[in-house]
Amino acid sequence: MIKDLLPGQVVCNEKNEKGKPCHGKLKRYYPFASYFNETDSGRLDEIKREFGQDPKLVLLRCEDCRMIYRLPQVLKEQLKQA
């Protein structure tokens, strides 16, 4: 599942089995970069369906629960300039 990033969000808000938020740090995630090996093929297929297979694609992923977040358009533009 891929979630939308909320304005100002810096930690994961996915709830665990007890109903508590994960609060893991969100890090940049390059799913199709040559140096990154994603082990979950189902996750890669879902990303390919939604975004295509762009090697420069940047998403955010929680360090703890591995939830993936879409970037808002404003943040996409800022990351392209950096």
User: 61, exposed or middle or buried, with CB in 10 Å at 0-12, 13-18, 19+?
Assistant: buried
Q: DSSP 3-state helix, strand, coil percentages of the chain (rounded to 5)? A: 25, 20, 55
Supply the pLDDT for residue 25: 97
Q: What is the pTM of this model?
A: 0.81
Instruction: Give the pLDDT band of residue 80 (cuts 50, 70, 90).
Output: low
Q: Is 68 left (phi over 0), alpha (psi -120 to 50) or beta?
A: beta
Q: Where are the domains of the chain?
A: 2-81
Instruction: Give the pLDDT band of residue 19 (cuts 50, 70, 90).
Output: very high
**Per-residue pLDDT tens for 43-69?**
889 999 998 888 888 899 999 999 999
- Which has the higher per-residue pLDDT, 41 or 48? 48
Task: For 1-82, list the strands marked E by DSSP.
Answer: 2-4, 26-29, 59-62, 68-70
Instruction: Give the pLDDT band of residue 42 (cuts 50, 70, 90).
Output: confident
